[in-house]
């Protein structure tokens, strides 16, 4: 994999038009290599810190698909998201953002769907519209119903000093997630993955949320179908490497 290092980051601080001649010049330069060696060019770039749940969805997908990609730290302590050139890529100033050879996208679930459609239509991304829509239900539900409860629990217990925690909000969040995951547990009865025997995009956002739930210092009800599905995910190297990282 090409390590673009500071060369890419300093160039990228210029105003960024993904389809500009500047991008082509940049890629030409990198392909040639500054020292004359042909270093190759990584076409898929991902901005986002490794401890972000939304970046983890994308990195897990990239690893399942076996894609060559470069991840560039951004967000929180890494900054970057408030740079003007980054806002040109992602006006929402959040992570992740990707640039896939000039296709610039943000919103993690959209990126997961795009990469799976491009590289794994019929497998990771169901090809048939109704089945695809079934997968998308679970992706949207993770972003809305699950994160509604999980976010205050995660932020409260992991990113807030003990003496400043709003315990009522944390407990309310815990109850929300318990109810959501009880529903998920029923959905998973008799199935290896959310849509059946095969991992699909439906599993990716919820798998990332499930890791957080099992890693948080909270009480959890026994949900055997959810637990079995989660343990199945932990057998996948792409999940272990990209999702099972310490909560920070
Ligand atoms: N709906 C967006 C949410 C993006 C988002 O809120 N990302 C968080 C990290 S999980 C972020 O950028 N936080 C600010 C930061 O890292 O500086 C998505 O799914 O991509």
pLDDT in tens, 61-95: 999 999 999 999 999 999 999 999 999 999 999 99
Residue 58 sits in the same domain as residue 77 = yes
Residues 6 and 115 in one domain: yes
Q: Are residues 214 and 137 in the same domain?
A: yes
Distance, CA 59 to ligand 1 centroid (Å)?
A: 14
Q: What pLDDT, on the 0 to 100 scale, is given for residue 123?
A: 98
Mutating to test ligand 1, I would choose from 95, 141, 155 the residue with most ligand atoms within 8 A of its C-beta, which is 95
Instruction: List all residues whose CB is within 6 A of at least one atom of ligand 1.
Output: 52-54, 75-76, 81, 94-96, 107-109
| Confidence band, pLDDT 50/70/90 cuts, at residue 40 | low
pLDDT tens digits, residue range 171-184?
999 999 999 999 99
Q: Is the pLDDT of residue 97 over 90?
A: yes
Give the pLDDT band (50/70/90) at residue 42. confident
Q: Residues near 133 by Cβ (< 8 Å), separated by ≥ 6? A: none
Q: What's the CATH code of the domain at 13?
A: 3.40.30.10
Is residue 248 assigned to a domain?
no
Residue 8 shares a structural domain with residue 82:
yes
- Residue 39 has a pLDDT of 40
What's the gap in Å between 218 CA and the centre of ligand 1?
A: 23
Residue to probe by mutation, ligand 1, list 52, 97, 139, most atoms within 8 Å of CB: 52
Q: 7 with 114, same domain?
A: yes
Instruction: Please tell me the distance from the alpha carbon of residue 200 to that of residue 140, in angstroms, as a whole number.
Output: 14
Token pair in block for residue 86: 């980054």
Number of domains forming the structure of the chain: 2
On whether residue 247 sits in a domain, the answer given is: no
Domain holding 136, by residue range, is: 129-241
Cα 174 from Cα 131, distance rounded (Å): 31
């Amino acid at each position: 994999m090409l390590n673009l290092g500071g060369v890419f980051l300093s160039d990228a601080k210029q105003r960024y038009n993904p389809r500009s001649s500047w991008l082509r010049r940049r890629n030409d330069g990198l392909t040639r290599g500054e020292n004359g060696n042909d270093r190759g060019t990584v076409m898929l770039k991902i901005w986002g810190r490794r401890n972000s749940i939304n970046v983890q969805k994308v990195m897990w997908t990239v690893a399942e698909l076996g894609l060559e990609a470069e991840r560039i730290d951004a967000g929180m302590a890494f900054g970057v998201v408030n740079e003007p050139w980054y806002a040109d890529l992602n006006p929402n100033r959040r992570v992740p953002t990707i640039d896939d050879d000039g296709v610039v996208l943000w919103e993690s679930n959209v990126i997961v769907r795009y990469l799976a459609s491009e590289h794994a239509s019929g497998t990771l991304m169901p090809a048939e519209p109704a089945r695809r829509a079934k997968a998308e239900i679970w992706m949207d539900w993770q972003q809305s119903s699950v994160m509604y409860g999980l976010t205050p629990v995660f932020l409260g217990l992991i990113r807030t000093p003990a003496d400043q925690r709003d315990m009522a909000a944390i407990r309310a969040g815990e109850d929300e997630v318990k109810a959501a995951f009880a529903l998920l547990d029923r959905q998973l009865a008799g199935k290896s993955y959310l849509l059946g025997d095969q991992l699909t995009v439906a599993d990716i956002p919820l798998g990332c949320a499930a890791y957080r739930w099992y890693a948080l210092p909270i009480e959890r009800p026994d949900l055997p179908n959810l637990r079995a599905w989660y343990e199945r995910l932990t057998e996948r190297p792409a999940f272990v490497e990209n999702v099972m990282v310490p909560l920070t």
